[in-house]
Amino acid sequence: MKFTTSFLCLLVAFIATAADTNSIYHDGWIDLDKNGRKDIYEDLSRPVANRVDDLLKRMTLDEKIGQLEQSPFGKDPVKQPAGKLKAGDISSFLDGSALIESPVLRNKLQHIAVEQSRLGIPLIFGHDSIHGFRTVFPIPLAQACAWEPELFERTQTISARESSAAGIDWVFSPMVDLARDPRWGRIAEGFGEDPWLGALDAAASVRGFQGTNCADTNRVVACLKHFVGYGAAEGGRDYNTTEISEFTLRNFYLPQFKAGVDAGALTVMSAFNELSGMPASANRHTLTDILRDEWEFPGYVVSDWESVGELVDHGVAADEAAAARLALTAGVDMEMVSTTYLDTLKQQIEQGEIPKKVLDEAVRRVLTVKFEKGLFDHPFTDANSYKTAFLQQDAIDLAREAAAKSCVLLKNENGALPLSPQVKKLALIGPFAEDGEEMVGPWYSRAHTNDIVSLADGLRAQLPFDFQLAIARGCSILETNSGKIRRHIGDFSPVKERWTGTNEIAEAVAAAKSADVVVLTLGEPRDWSGESSSRSDLGLPGRQMELFDAIVATGKPVIVVLFNGRPLAIPKVQKQAAAILEAWFPGIQGGNGVADVLFGDVDPAGRLTTTFPNRVGQVPFYYNHSNTGRPGFGDYKGNYADGPTVPLYPFGFGLAYTTFDYGKVQLDSPEMKLDGTISAHMQIQNTGERAGTEVAQLYIRALAATTGPRPVRELKGFQKILLQPGESRDMSFNISGKELGYYNSKGNWLVEPGKYQLWISKDSASGEPVNFDLVK
Ligand code: BGC
């Protein structure tokens, strides 16, 4: 496959330049340094390590430093950087706004790098394909709710196909930051609060992007980000300080990165935040001691956007030179956007302030990935393939499947859902009813407005012919009494609008009154999720609660469909709605996928991977917390005097259109050896009248651990099963001693003998545990 791809690319280049006798393109290799000989680094048959060694020997100090610079596109993306490209001062481009469906532009830049620089080292092009490229899938937090890591493998495979057709070699994804604080906008980009499930999702995403060989056509290099601890930002404020003990870092924040490295991710991005007294982009402990020395990560580390330059703002570097020195020696190989390496490394190396070896190692890692991606052998993209690669039928189908699988049914009183065939008049109300753009979430990448299916479109496409649909917006997402609203129109350019003053709520109430059932769409604007989009409140913004109250007051059954990027604190909606379907930002096929669930063509099988609080004051709030010494202390149970201590919905929660009965957990033995396994069995029965999918979850708890206190529950397994009405299944889970280990504060993984509990339950807050002993 690799050979075929390379061969074809070279053939095209060869034919194109056949008339030119001085061509650097040959049948099977490229004369990158234009010396008329096939040098070792140009020779496809040599192992990558030899090729890198050979190339490194030929490079000047300037050329080496140039390999560590990643640049954004300027206003004139070709003319502006041409000089630097010829000098070998740029290694990579990112952002790609100029790349929109234009591999032609990419190839132009690549031609300059390959043909006009001394050694012809190709560029690597990076882009944020976070949850899709042209086919935009549900946000990662939503996809995680499918409890189906293979879903990530499948969606990211499509994302890789579309990205690479647009000329992208490298994606800044997956974001594997564990997040416990829904105020933080980037919670939308990750997998939730559980390190075990997050690790499975991380590995699956890497497999989806890179396949078995990232040099294959349709594959891209993955990047695990943001290393590390970014999700623990104080107060949920983006870019903020984090203070994470080694114990918590090892057990909660690192496992997803480790899983991604083990799955073969070739790059890692260092984070913006300060981590326990040192910015993550200057943190030698995490970048070198852990990532390289312990985990033997073979790829390269890229900084986050200007996070090397920002070391000055952090107050740990006096100037750019000090920032560059700190970052490079800590283990950041490539600098994104800021230019401290380019501007200062030469002098520092010549003056012996930074050992040459440190630079060589960083360059070696960058070149190795470029070789592994096959860029030296096929540097150009087929300029036409994107025309057929985008929005293929399998991508559209998967986007619809993923949107439906991401939905979590949070409430369903008196079987309000699925919509019954008796319902003849439906009122679709709320600011998201006809809004397609909001469906795609924060990283909409190259989504086009016309490709998006809104909920109104999705419902219309499935309505029986005798069904009446009335649509009323009710209010805009952010409308306030002052009349100011903000939203996006057109192809995603942010604009400010002024509210026209029409009382849309009255129109919505009229529509509700004449309907049998109301589907009320509520949520947050999509640009309130993602980077630099934190919130201090977790309720519904604008006049949405006013709209909700008015619609509930009509007495009609109100089915709320939520479009949002984080857990929301909405206890009143929870009390008064007849049903609540959490649809997140479901992507371009959102309207169809959500309609599939509303009509019952797809059973809601999503389960939360983040805790929903009752109030914002409860956060950070997560299921796998420590027990404390006073878990049930006094009237307030060690918690709040003025409000609930329990979550609105716990981790793992989600309903189906049927009901399931859990039997008692049986263990095949009351004891497990450290190197042995134990089997847990449980009878689960579908007690309803519809077929349905259940996600049975296995949790454990260590009751006395020398490593340090362990969580009150830790997820260690799950099974997603479809049961027919009345069907009973004997579920069996095997768990080994090894899986019960934990890190101590020194970073040692220990499997400890002692007393443990085990649950098989529908979520993290239900079920009865059984005990077992782990013995030597
Ligand atoms: C974000 C990264 C992103 C990078 C490149 C940064 O601001 O934090 O997640 O990959 O920009 O776009």
Q: What is the pLDDT of residues 554-564, one digit of tens each?
A: 999 999 999 99
Above 60 in pLDDT, residue 357?
Answer: yes
- Strands (DSSP E) contained in 687-726 are 692-702, 714-723
Number of Cβ within a 10 Å radius of residue 289: 15
Q: Dump pLDDT digits (tens) for 215-253.
A: 999 999 999 999 999 999 999 999 999 999 999 999 999
Is the alpha carbon torsion for 639, 643, 644, 650 positive or negative?
A: negative
For the stretch 629-634, contacts whose Cβ atoms lie closer than 8 Å and that sit 24 or more positions apart, written own/partner, are: 631/712
Mean pLDDT score across all residues of the chain: 93
pLDDT score for 480: 58
Above 70 in pLDDT, residue 266?
Answer: yes
Distance CA 740, CA 200 (A): 16
Lookup: tokens for 266: 């070739």
Distance CA 270, CA 279 (A): 9
pLDDT score for 5: 46
Above 70 in pLDDT, residue 18?
Answer: no
Q: Calculate mean pLDDT across residues 59-87.
A: 94
Q: How far is the CA of 225 from the centre of ligand 1 (A)?
A: 9
Number of Cβ within a 10 Å radius of residue 140: 31
Above 80 in pLDDT, residue 501?
Answer: no
Strand order in the sheet with 692-702: 671-673, 770-775, 754-761, 692-702, 714-723
Distance CA 581, CA 600 (A): 12
Ligand 1 atom closest to residue 223's alpha carbon, by position in its atom list: 10
Does 225 contact ligand 1 (Cβ within 6 A)? yes
Q: How far is the CA of 104 from the centre of ligand 1 (A)?
A: 24
Ligand 1 atom closest to residue 272's alpha carbon, by position in its atom list: 8
Does 227 contact ligand 1 (Cβ within 6 A)? no
Distance CA 579, CA 111 (A): 57
Q: Is 264 left (phi over 0), alpha (psi -120 to 50) or beta?
A: left
Q: Calculate mean pLDDT across residues 40-44.
A: 98
Give residue 512's Cα distance to chain centre: 37
CB 68 within 8 A of CB 348: no
Query: Going by DSSP bridges, is the β-strand pair 754-761/770-775 parallel, antiparallel, or unpaired?
Result: antiparallel
CB 185 within 8 A of CB 532: yes
Does 582 contact ligand 1 (Cβ within 6 A)? no
Q: How far is the CA of 305 from the centre of ligand 1 (A)?
A: 6
CB 236 within 8 A of CB 177: no
Q: Which residues pair with 774 in a beta bridge?
A: 672, 754
Q: State the burial class of residue 576 (Cβ atoms within 10 Å of its Cβ: 0-12, 13-18, 19+).
A: middle
DSSP tag of 97: G
Distance CA 94, CA 74 (A): 11
Per the listing, tokens 């890229």 go with 302
Does 763 contact ligand 1 (Cβ within 6 A)? no
DSSP tag of 334: B
Using most ligand atoms within 8 A of CB, pick from 93, 268, 305 the residue to mutate for ligand 1: 305
pLDDT score for 16: 47
DSSP tag of 249: I
Specify the length of the chain in residues.
776
Q: How far is the CA of 336 from the centre of ligand 1 (A)?
A: 9
Distance CA 79, CA 151 (A): 42
Q: How far is the CA of 187 from the centre of ligand 1 (A)?
A: 14
pLDDT score for 478: 82
Ligand 1 atom closest to residue 531's alpha carbon, by position in its atom list: 8
Phi (first) and psi of residue 438, to 5 degrees: -65, -20
Nearest alpha carbon to residue 385 among 655, 580, 141, 104: 104
Q: Calculate mean pLDDT across residues 35-44.
A: 97
Distance CA 497, CA 519 (A): 26
Above 80 in pLDDT, residue 101?
Answer: no
- pLDDT band for 6, please (50, 70, 90 cuts): very low
Cα-Cα-Cα-Cα torsion 746, 747, 751, 753, nearest 10 degrees, comes to: 20
Single-letter amino acid, residue 435: D
Using most ligand atoms within 8 A of CB, pick from 168, 531, 533 the residue to mutate for ligand 1: 531
Ligand 1 atom closest to residue 226's alpha carbon, by position in its atom list: 9
Q: Calculate mean pLDDT across residues 442-446.
A: 87
517-534: burial string, b at 16+ Cβ within 10 Å, e else: bbbbbbbbbbbbbbbebb
Q: Calculate mean pLDDT across residues 657-681.
A: 97
Using most ligand atoms within 8 A of CB, pick from 304, 337, 443, 445 the residue to mutate for ligand 1: 304
Above 60 in pLDDT, residue 377?
Answer: yes
Q: Calculate mean pLDDT across residues 472-491.
A: 63
Q: How far is the CA of 171 from the centre of ligand 1 (A)?
A: 11
Phi (first) and psi of residue 750, to 5 degrees: -125, 135
Does 170 contact ligand 1 (Cβ within 6 A)? no
**Helices (DSSP H) in 479-629: which residue ranges?**
504-513, 544-552, 571-576, 590-598
Active site residues: 304
Above 80 in pLDDT, residue 502?
Answer: no
Q: Tell me what percent of the residues of the chain surpass a pLDDT of 90.
A: 84
Q: How far is the CA of 97 from the centre of ligand 1 (A)?
A: 13
Phi (first) and psi of residue 243, to 5 degrees: -130, 100
Does 69 contact ligand 1 (Cβ within 6 A)? no
Listed ranges 101-105, 463-467, 665-669; the one with the highest mean pLDDT:
665-669
Kindly give, in sequence order, each residue whose CB lies less than 8 Å from that of residue 456, ignoring residues fewer than 6 positions away: 428, 433, 434, 469, 471, 591
Q: Dump pLDDT digits (tens) for 509-533.
A: 999 999 999 999 999 998 899 999 9
Distance CA 419, CA 462 (A): 12
Q: Dump pLDDT digits (tens) for 585-644.
A: 999 999 999 999 999 999 999 999 999 999 999 999 999 999 998 887 555 556 788 988
Does 651 contact ligand 1 (Cβ within 6 A)? no
Q: Which residues pair with 484 in a beta bridge?
A: 498
Distance CA 293, CA 246 (A): 16
pLDDT score for 392: 98
Does 531 contact ligand 1 (Cβ within 6 A)? yes
pLDDT score for 645: 87
Q: Dump pLDDT digits (tens) for 313-325.
A: 999 999 999 999 9
Q: Dump pLDDT digits (tens) for 717-753.
A: 999 999 999 999 999 999 999 999 999 999 999 999 9
Lookup: tokens for 285: 């402990």
- pLDDT band for 99, please (50, 70, 90 cuts): low
Closest residue CA from atom 2 of ligand 1: 304
Closest residue CA from atom 7 of ligand 1: 305
Distance CA 156, CA 207 (A): 8
DSSP-based three-state secondary structure for 519: strand
Kindly report whether the global pTM for this prediction surpasses the value 0.85: yes
Does 189 contact ligand 1 (Cβ within 6 A)? no
Q: How far is the CA of 304 from the centre of ligand 1 (A)?
A: 6
Does 305 contact ligand 1 (Cβ within 6 A)? yes
- pLDDT band for 72, please (50, 70, 90 cuts): very high
Q: How far is the CA of 172 from the centre of ligand 1 (A)?
A: 7
Distance CA 308, CA 303 (A): 7
Does 127 contact ligand 1 (Cβ within 6 A)? no
Distance CA 561, CA 573 (A): 11
